[in-house]
Amino acid sequence: MKKSKAELERKNLMVNGNQVQHLKELLDVATASEAVRVAVDRTIQAQEALTALKRLRSRQTWGKNLRV
């Protein structure tokens, strides 16, 4: 996940250091900043996928037994 400096914006966040360290290990990334960026990207992707599935379900173009 490489981004140009123009795409990144510095933020001062209060986070639990133990959780960020755990996240860093889970994601197998080198830095805490990268762990947070990857987690944010994946969360956005998951929410967008869930929204798309809900939209398909509401159009009844997906199986009626889908539980969301």
Beta-carbon contacts of 33 under 8 Å, excluding residues fewer than 6 positions away, are none
Q: Which two tokens stand for residue 41?
A: 């990207």
Beta-carbon contacts of 32 under 8 Å, excluding residues fewer than 6 positions away, are 20, 21, 24
> Whole-model pTM above 0.85?
no
**Which tens digit of pLDDT belongs to each residue from 1-28?**
566 667 899 999 999 999 999 999 999 9
- 10 phi, psi to nearest 5 deg: -75, 130
